Amino acid sequence: MHRVLKAILGAVLLLVPALSGCATDPTTGDRFLSLYSWDQETALGIEAASSFTGEFGGELPHEGIRAYVTEVGMSMVPHVEEGVPKDLPWKFTILNSDVLNAFALPGGQVFITRGLALQLENEAQLAGVLGHEIGHVTARHGNQAMSRAVLLQGSLAVGQLVVGAADNQSVLSRYGSLGLPVAQVGGQLVLLRYGRDAEYQADALGMRYMSRAGYKPSGQRQVMVTLGRLSEGGQRPPVWLSTHPFPDDRVAQIDKLLNTEYAAAEAGASHVLRAEEYARRMLRPLASLPPAPPPSDGGSAMLLESMFWCALCREDAEDLTLVARWSRRLSAHE
């Protein structure tokens, strides 16, 4: 018993630093566990950006399209919440890849692939995709995902210390050895749930920013309908085992917002879709470019299914998760 008490004391001392950090989600005012400052988030995002760009074929070799994506993305930045630092180095990048994806790194690094851009039909849809990714940054979802992963790993390490210190014939040793794997699976499911909640929140924030910038918020709905169509026929895991909600579930949430909070913006003549502008500045120039290069090993390992659009919340994937990448980078800086 003395060994177990010592193990528990040591474990608690290991967890105290992790439990002492707290921050505020600027988009809701809610407090959350945070192990990283805005500056740390931004540094990690900038450092990771080049490797992600390389994995997805590099930046699209068309200056006009790149400028267009930047223009649409930056039109929403002035409309983010007051608690978001004014000096975040926002960057909007279109990647030369046919993979259907968009994702964000902490600190304002936002990406959309050529493949996803080709599936869109108007500028409001592009604003919906980029606004969704801006929402991941402003709600600090990367910080929350990394902090929760560190806490889960630390809690499991604590459990292993305590079980390992117990007598071999004790109840704690016998049942603890069985309980730890169960706890690990349960913890992963909790993280998956956080991932789905983050997607719903990012959808709503994307509608907020695009509407404030003058786009019809139904552009966000159109994106989800397209993604749902593209994912038809594919095998979908149960929603409770998916890091992202199914597109039809996301459409249901968007419809509620369109019928309430954004009814006036949707009906008003001042909010636009800009289909012809999108065809002129995106679709026709894309059609004139050579084919995109095949994905690298790293890029092909990302979640390619359209139902998983947005690769931020993949704590359950292999070693390519952002949590794993950033944890390695943070360790390297310590």
Q: Where are the domains of the chain?
A: 2-333
Return d(Cα 311, Cα 103) in angstroms, integer. 5
Name which residue leads in pLDDT, 94 or 173.
94
The alpha carbon torsion through 89, 90, 96, 97 (nearest 10 deg) reads: 110
Mean pLDDT confidence for 276-283 = 98
Return d(Cα 179, Cα 181) in angstroms, integer. 6
Residue 318 has pLDDT above 50, yes or no: no
DSSP code at position 105? E
Give the pLDDT score at 310: 66
Q: What is the pLDDT of residues 181-232, one digit of tens each?
A: 444 444 444 444 557 888 999 999 999 999 999 999 999 999 999 988 877 7
Residue 61 has pLDDT above 70, yes or no: yes
Residue 322 has pLDDT above 60, yes or no: no
Q: What is the pLDDT of residues 1-53, one digit of tens each?
A: 444 444 444 444 444 444 446 888 999 999 988 888 999 989 988 988 888 89
Q: What is the pLDDT of residues 117-153, one digit of tens each?
A: 999 999 999 999 999 999 999 999 888 877 776 765 6
Percent pLDDT > 70 in the chain is 65
Return d(Cα 272, Cα 251) in angstroms, integer. 20
Give the pLDDT score at 168: 54
Residues 6+ apart with CB under 8 A from 132: 102, 202, 203, 205, 206, 220, 310
Return d(Cα 52, Cα 209) in angstroms, integer. 25
Residue 15 region by backbone torsions, left for phi larger than 0, else alpha for psi between -120 and 50, else beta: alpha
Name which residue leads in pLDDT, 24 or 71.
71
